[in-house]
Structure 1
Amino acid sequence: MFTTRPTLQGTFGMVSSTHWLASQCAMAVLEDGGNAFDAAVAAGFVLHVVEPHLNGPAGEVPIILAPAGGSPAVLCGQGPAPAGAGVAHYTSLGLDLVPGTGPLAAAVPGAFDAWMMLLRDHGTRDVRDVLRYAIHYAESGHPAVERIGATVESVRELFEQEWTSSAELYLPGGRAPRGGDLLRNPALAATWRRVTAEAEAAGSDRETQIDAARRTWREGFVAEALVRASDRPTMDTSGERHTGTLSGDDLAAYRAGYEAPVTVDWNGWTLCKAGPWSQGPALLQQLALLPDGFGTGETAYGSAGYVHTLVEGAKLAMADREAWYGDAADVPLDDLLAPAYNAARRKLIGDQASLELRPGSPDGRTPRLPAHVEHLLSELAKSGAEDGFDALGTLPSGAGEPTVARDGLTRGDTCHLDVVDRWGNLVSATPSGGWLQSNPVVPELGFPLGTRLQMAWLEPGLPNTLTPGRRPRTTLTPSLALRDGVPVMAFGTPGGDQQDQWSLHFFLAVALRPPVRGQWDLQGAVDAPNWHTDAFPSSFFPRGMRPGSLVVEDRIGDAVAAELRARGHRVTLADPWSEGRLCAVARDPRTGVLSAAANPRGMQGYAVGR
């Protein structure tokens, strides 16, 4: 079967990420004797440098890991809302949504502590070992990908007029970086050099140094600079200048933490996801909704029936996400994943596309949607708009994590990486937030604050209400799969609300398609035509939706597209290579053979290994 690249196979180690330099640096760590967790940390910091429009050090990262011979675990690097970030404060400013940019949208940064905890608890290397690759590319420069310059151009006016520290870094001499230009960030390199020096000054022991680096971040010069940045009045998507709520106490109190994954079994597989502070369980709900015999007959892989069933299941799962998921209330997760609940929900999937948002009633509870969503649904019903619209009355554009400029409509994405090593350690991580376009660059540090609070609602009593000390519900959602109880595959994708659609399509392509060279066809599953729906409220400012929407790569075929339209889907034919940026690695426990694949879309992702 033709694919854009081969599925890599070997026995030493495999890496897949959304940027070739991150993948190769992770492989260099493996070649130097490090394990998968050392490699993942090094790659994570390189992604901050080479994909600054997609993630940054003050963002967040959920990680799923499976140590060789151990049980899978989730390491949560999603920081909570600061102590001062209550609903009353935001509504007193005349806001009904958390802005999409600026310090008011900044959660407590979580990524750095999570990476350092992964290194300390599961790695073998020290701080200098894992930061040296990021320092090199920040200091010496890296060839910029085209999207960095395009993103900078989209916020040029904002940078030049308001966020001048960002203009100094990303518009030197008034010129945005072009594809292939060497892009340097000397302030970021200096930050990591100082963190390394302070870590090593604390002692010679590896764990002592790592914990010292964590203290430097949350209590030292990094924390002080982040608080100063939060306190600066900054223009955001509201059209006003606001200061943030992040304090030194918030930073000092934060610790990343481990949790048990949420799981669902399907046809001999077990899928592991982060809890409902993420959207991860939505993938599990979609799996639980699938009928017996899915992938055969009228739902044969790639058929219109197959796509229709998955799209309608995604609508139901995402409606439940909107009504039930969050960190500000107890989530009835066992009921949402219960076979009886999903059997009842499955009956809602008919032959025609639904144009409704239909959250369920787990254990007889009454679902509650945010007032903003109820208003949006009412306005859509009154207008009869076939394509839907966002909260500003304009058509939403693009997909994925937004890079919102002043108008709230500029789009962006996120990152992903997976690693497996010769010992059988597996790790999957989705770093994001702290984009170059989310907040002004902190001059002393070389990176901006994040904007994850935009995902929480300014309405009391919801599972995802903005609540001090609670995590905003994130779209970031790495995946880990077990086969007959043994961890075998790590995978994921950028893409905001689309992540758990694209990841499900990938997983099913692996599970339902024939193997290649005796192994799962990872590259074939990555390359397969993909699609998504926006028929539920976006997690990002300005929180729009498009009932009935279905965006498909035109490689899906004319006949399938025509039948989907006949079923009532509002089909948009997208470019042939536009849906998803998947990464994956796997290990066959019978043979020890490792494999990897990476996404050709966007011309950045790469897998390496041997």
Structure 2
Amino acid sequence: MSNVNPNPFTTRPEIEGSFGVVTSTHWIATAVGMSILEKGGNAFDAAVATAFTLQVVEPHLNGAGGDVPIVLYDVRKGRPEVICGQGPAPAGATIRYYRGLGLDMVPGTGLLAACVPGTFETWMMLLAEYGTLRPADVLAPAIYYAREGHPLVERAHATIRSVETLFRQHWPTSAAVWLPGGTVPETGSLFVNRGLADTYARILREAESGGGGREQEIARARKAWSEGFVADAIDRFCRTQKVMDTSGEAHRGILTGHDMATWKPRIEAPLTYDYGRYTVCKAGPWSQGPVLLQQLALLKGFALDGLDVAGAEFIHTVVECAKLAYADREKFYGDPDVVKVPMDVLLSDAYNDARRKLVTDAASLELRPGSVEGFGGDVKLRRAGEVPVAAGAGEPTVGKIAAKPGEVRGDTVHFDIIDRDGNMISATPSGGWLQSSPIIPELGFCLGTRAQMFWLEEGHPAALAPGKRPRTTLSPTLALRDGEPYLAWGTPGGDQQDQWNLQLFLRHVHAGLNLQESIDAPAWHSEHFPISFWPRTARPGVLVIEERVSEEVRRDLAARGHVVEVGPAWSEGRLTAASRDGWRRRAAANPRGMQGYAAGR
């Protein structure tokens, strides 16, 4: 790959050192993660502390009731691994049950959209299997910021304001927490969530009550969550409360304590694709992760070296390949424990050689999934504007709140960490955001809504079924270079994640941009394919592009048939990235959104 750098613009330095680096979507979480490294913890200890802190300081983007996929490299094992922290559908979640309620989609908010909360169990598993510290060490910062307060970021303020009426009229338990004193808290005000602090403090008390070492403490913490007072409170809330959701009706939940007690996260081998010197590692087709690998398989046939990464030829080629890969996501992806997904075919040279011929100089305006005999489901297209906007629905947005349906740009949180030993981790926690579902008053947090990603269509690979994992958009990434662990990166952004993840990688690999330059370069996303969240609409041909891309390039793209929409100069993605190269550790964070920071030494 070439070392040409056509776009050296950058907003801040790439962090560099030899001790360790942490980069995340919020400066407080980055500082917490770095403090754990400084105290002698490894990358996995730092990850757990960072993740719990992000639940507190970015509550509009993730929470304790959410889920998380992780991709990591453990130097002891000498191989990359994936941890699936995506909880499955409850035992009572059948298509027949939801159809019996008069629903044709799982609601985008409320209790019917809840899967088993995956984050706490996953972070405790990570701590037990890979970390070195005790639960108190990694929970203390989150408890502090929840109890003593943190400055509320502007997007959290805007999110609370957007669902204020919903809270007041239908979700009083949420109003009690997010409208302190009966008003929307101001940006920069010191915000507390003492209910969440009390929950985590009680878990620690129970974890430490029986003596023994850290393994015993972790085991008791997990039991308090999945079989103890947390599971009991969730079970009771779902059974006794009828909650208004996007259907316009109030429904009880079907998640039970038994669902929580019988699920555990698990370690899996990553799905990989070789691209030049690089082996890119993603979670399997229970996530959208393979869509990045499919894009690489298509792009491998194009000469990208030397192209201007903010030029029309580059953007057009990448967007057209994205359309093909995402169309396959809609047709084929689902939980491979339940349905067969032909990933060997989808990543094969023969399949992609044929698919690549569909890329021409003209922008495609149709959804064109491939064909693999015996696999796949029907792809239904709902155009934006066909359904109403509902408060709190979909996935959170970085940009304008309460945008029209086609303008939904998903968001969540992300972090990447590398320690002095070379351990690496990339994680994208999400779900359980404050606008997804009412607060459970005894716990100080709400449930997630990941079940909205299931289809209520028998035979579809992503069809709802008890115990099945929904096809999450969460998509952290790790890459080896010449067989050695090299790069960890990711971004919030729902369906856009593996568009922005790809752009960073291509800029770094083909144009020689460093990590910070690769993040800062002008970016874009396609809205051509259906979004994964309620109401699952699409905007065929639409290409949203930052205004920093030149007018000449925009005209060229429009002439090729793209429906070009120009967004603000700094509006596309919230990427973070970290790399290791021998003794060298590097990290970078996104300036968009004014929250992300990298640290290291």
TM-score by length of 2: 0.95
Using a 3 Å threshold, how does the CA distance of structure 1 residues 197 and 396 change in structure 2: closer, same or farther?
closer
| Structure 2 equivalent of residue 165 of structure 1 | 173
Aligned with 1:555: secondary structure? coil
Question: Is 1:331–2:322 an aligned residue pair?
Answer: no
Report which stretch shifted further, 88-97 or 397-406: 397-406
Instruction: Write the distance in 2 (CA, Å) between the matches of 1:189 and 1:161.
Output: 26
Taking the aligned partners of 2:302 and 2:14, their CA distance within structure 1 comes to 28
Write the letter of the residue equivalent to 2:349: P
Q: Secondary structure at the match of 2:537?
A: coil
Assess, with a 3 A threshold, how the Cα gap between structure 1 residues 46 and 501 changes in structure 2: closer, same or farther.
same
Distance change (3 Å), C-alpha of 1:411 and 1:530:
closer
How far is the alpha carbon of 1:142 from its aligned partner?
0.2
SS at match of 1:95: coil
Name the amino acid aligned to 1:347: K
Shift of 1:399: 9.5
Instruction: Answer whether contact 1:389 1:396 (CA < 8 A) is retained.
Output: no
Contact 2:578 2:585 in 1 (8 A): yes
Q: Structure 1: how far apart are the matches of 2:161 and 2:463?
A: 34
Does residue 28 of the first structure (1) align with residue 19 of the second (2)? Answer: no
- In 1, Cα distance between the equivalents of 2:353 and 2:301? 11
Give me the whole-angstrom Cα distance separating, in 1, the residues matched to 2:375 and 2:19: 52
Deviations for 1:534-573, whole angstroms, at most 9, x for unmatched residues? 1111100011000001000011111111110010000001
**d(CA) in 2 for partners of 1:261 and 1:439?**
32
The CA distance in 1 between the partners of 2:145 and 2:446, in whole Å, is 18
Q: State the match for 1:389 in structure 2.
A: 384
Superposed, 1:225-264 pairs within 5 Å as: 225-231=233-239, 232-264=241-273
List per-residue Cα deviations over 1:290-338 (Å, max 9, x = no partner): 14453236x5433211110110111000000000001141100111001
Residue aligning to 1:555: 548
Equivalent position of 1:209 in the other structure: 217
Distance apart, 1:204 and its partner CA: 2.3
Aligned to 1:383: none
- Cα deviation 1:461-491 (Å, max 9, x = unaligned): 1110011000010000000011011111110
Cα 1:179/1:63, change in 2 over 3 Å: same
Aligned length: 587
Residue matched to 1:598: 589
Are 2:226 and 1:218 aligned?
yes
Contiguous gaps of at least 5 residues in structure 1? 377-387, 516-520
CA distance 1:484–1:574, change in 2 (3 Å): same
Q: Is 1:538 aligned with 2:531?
A: yes
Contact 2:453-2:472 within 8 A present in 1 as well: yes
Q: Which residue of 1 aligns with 2:205?
A: 197
Q: Unaligned regions of 5+ residues in structure 2, if any?
A: 1-7
Coordinate RMSD, CA, aligned: 2.0
2:365 matches 1:355 = yes
Match of 1:340 in 2: 350
CA, structure 1 residues 407+451, in 2 after alignment: closer, same or farther (shift >3 Å)? farther
Provide the residue aligned with 2:59 in structure 1: 52
Aligned residue identity for 1:174 = G
Does the 8 Å contact 1:391/1:542 carry over to 2?
no
Check if 1:496 corresponds to 2:484: no
Q: How does 1:10-409 map to 2 (within 5 A)?
A: 10-69=17-76, 70-231=78-239, 232-296=241-305, 299-327=307-335, 328-362=338-372, 364-365=373-374, 367-370=376-379, 373-374=380-381, 376=382, 388-392=383-387, 401=396
Change (3 A) 1:394 1:415: closer
Post-superposition offset of 1:68: 1.6
Q: CA separation of 1:391/1:245 partners in 2, compared to 1, >3 Å: closer, same or farther?
A: farther
Matched, 1:512 2:510: yes
The change in CA–CA distance for 1:399 and 1:453 in structure 2 (over 3 A counts) is: closer
The equivalent of 1:424 in structure 2 is 422
Which shifted more, 248-257 or 228-237?
Answer: 228-237
Partners of 2:202 and 2:388 lie apart in 1 by 47
SS at match of 1:603: coil
Aligned-pair CA distance for 1:588: 0.3
Q: Name the amino acid aligned to 2:267.
A: Y
Scaled by the length of structure 1, what TM-score is found? Answer: 0.93
- Letter of the structure 1 residue corresponding to residue 519 of structure 2: V
- In structure 2, the partner of 1:576 is 569
Q: Is the 8 A contact 1:261 1:275 kept in 2?
A: yes
Aligned partner of residue 441 in structure 1, secondary structure: coil
Deviations 1:155-201 (A, max 9, x none): 11110011111111111122112111000011111111100111111
Contact 2:136 2:204 in 1 (8 A): yes
Distance 1:399 1:608, change over 3 A: farther
CA distance in 1, matches of 2:105, 2:169: 24
- Cα gap change, 1:323 to 1:293, in 2 (>3 Å): closer
Contact (CA 8 Å) 1:286, 1:314: kept in 2 or not?
A: yes
Q: Say if 1:62 and 1:77, in contact at 8 Å, map to a contact too.
A: yes
Matching residue of 2:598: 607
Q: Does 1:529 align with 2:538?
A: no
Deviation at 1:410, TM superposition (A): 7.7
Amino acid aligned to 1:341: Y
The equivalent residue for 1:456 is: 454
Q: Which residue of 2 aligns with 1:6?
A: 13
What's the CA shift string for 1:370-413, capped at 9, x where partnerless? Answer: 4xx15x3xxxxxxxxxxx41541779999964699999898762
Q: Which amino acid aligns with 1:319?
A: A
Distance 1:20 1:413 in 2: 17
The 1:554–1:260 alpha-carbon spacing in structure 2 relative to 1, beyond 3 Å, is same
2: CA distance between counterparts of 1:395 and 1:343? 42
Is contact 1:390–1:396 with CA below 8 Å preserved after alignment? no
In 2, are the aligned partners of 1:418 and 1:490 still within 8 Å (CA)? yes
Give the equivalent residue in structure 2 for 1:381: none
User: Any idea what SS the aligned residue of 1:59 has?
Assistant: coil
Quickly say closer, same or farther: Cα 1:511–1:398, change in 2 above 3 A: farther
Contact persistence 2:111–2:447 (CA under 8 A): yes
